[in-house]
Amino acid sequence: MKDIIQAFKKDYSERDIRAVKSPLRICPLGAHSDHQLGKVSGMTLDSSVDFVYSPSNDGYIKVRSLDFPDKEWFHLDHEMEYVPGFWGTYLRGAVQALKQDHILRKGIKGVVSGKLPIGGLSSSAAVTTAYLMALADANEIELSKMELIQYSHWVETQFIGLKNGILDQSANILSMNNQLMVMDCTTNEYELIPKGENTPEFEVIIVYSGISKQLISTDFNNRTDELKVAGWILQDLSGMDPSPSLERVHLRDIPSSVYEEYKDQLPERFRKRAAHFYTEQDRVNKGAKAWAEGNIAAFGQYMFESGESSFFQYESGIPEMKTIFDILKDSEGVYGARPSGAGYRGAVIGLVNPAYKDSIKEKMEKEYTTKHPAYKDDFAVNFSHTDDGARLVKDLEGWM
């Protein structure tokens, strides 16, 4: 945060300096379930996207990123378009989202940056939340957490065109330190489950593959459609009232008993996608119980099972991420691991015993770079603790 504040002071002479800390998130269990209205889980990290800003009376948005080239500069009255691959897209989307229901009179001047490599930790949701909170703060707009989630989700689905659910935004906004956030995406009801009293010490490992891709250019949307097709076929086989359109098919609306009865009649591709969803839902429920009991070994095993299912049933992985997963699974001191995000880019995350951090990192660096030498300069191993969700930073004096 200190470097961002110094960069802000260099760019601007404003005295009213404010900041948002918007953490990166992991999804231990519940992968690829939110867009099917299933149950998901999330935690936020002490690694974050930080945005230092000041309200601007001229109505202009002027933001610089310390991680990407170019500045974003436009007036609130302008209808800004989606530009694929451009970091400023999320800022544009945040403005458009709020303008649907609110009059924005004040712009913002700011500097933004994140800590960890982009990819797999939903930095897009984190940065969108940061922009939304800053814009709302500058314009004296009070947003509930659920409204913030919905606006952030609108940016990714309606402005950008990604067919995802609300997991990323919910984890980013609702999570609390040392607690597991479990949300039902059908009702948006959620609970924060404190870790059990006997939970052993742990840290989160994030192994970045060195590969980043825009999700919209991957099979992410195709997999979402395949889940819906699986649901449509199950509706037909079981005699359920069919959904009026594919977009309105959700596996959460189809009982697991229907899946069990008719799964063998599903074409292989759709059977595998449905198998991932229903077994993942079972893992969320079992994992929540294990977390509350402090049984991190059982919780970690469910994460390993989730990873296997993501690679082999959902078929979302890439070889580099499967290599990381296999190394973690074979490393002493790793409680559990799974690919993070959509599995087409980015990172593999896990929970580890801090006493084994050095040996895990040494093993990973040796084996991964041997197998994938092309990424040795971009690949990275990081460790984090959990933290609270997105918030305005009330006291910046210590960072000045």
Q: How many whole angstroms separate alpha carbon 311 and alpha carbon 219?
A: 13
What's the pLDDT score for residue 214?
54
CATH number at residue 29: 3.30.230.10
Q: Based on the fold, state whether residues 138 and 264 are members of the same structural domain.
A: no
Shared domain for 183 and 220, answered yes or no, is no
Q: Where are the alpha helices (DSSP H) in 155-267?
A: 167-174, 220-238, 256-262
Residue 367, CA distances (Å) to 75, 196, 211, 372 in order: 50, 34, 17, 9
User: Which of the residues 50, 137, 168, 387 is marked catalytic?
Assistant: 168
Alpha-carbon gap, residue 85 to 345, rounded angstroms: 14
Token digits of residue 369: 């770079």
Residues 104 and 208 in one domain: no
Same domain? 143 vs 229: no
393 and 383 share a domain? Answer: no
pTM (global) more than 0.85: yes
Q: Assess whether 342 and 252 both reside in one domain.
A: yes
Residue where the block lists tokens 């990714």:
156
Low-confidence ranges of the chain (pLDDT < 50): 215-217
- Structural domain total, the chain: 2
Q: Are 58 and 93 in the same domain? A: yes
Give residue 348's domain range: 203-387
3-state secondary structure of 332: coil
CATH number for the domain harbouring residue 370:
3.30.70.890
Q: Are residues 335 and 267 in the same domain?
A: yes
Rounded Cα distance between 265 and 262, Å, is: 6
Kindly state whether residues 173 and 211 are assigned to the same domain.
Answer: no
pLDDT at 215: 43
Judgement on whether residues 32 and 69 belong to the same structural domain of the protein:
yes
User: Could you tell me if 18 and 101 lie in one domain?
Assistant: yes
CB–CB of 289/299 below 8 Å?
no
Specify whether 382 is located in the same domain as 395.
no
Say what the pLDDT of residue 183 is. Answer: 93
Catalytic site residue 225? no
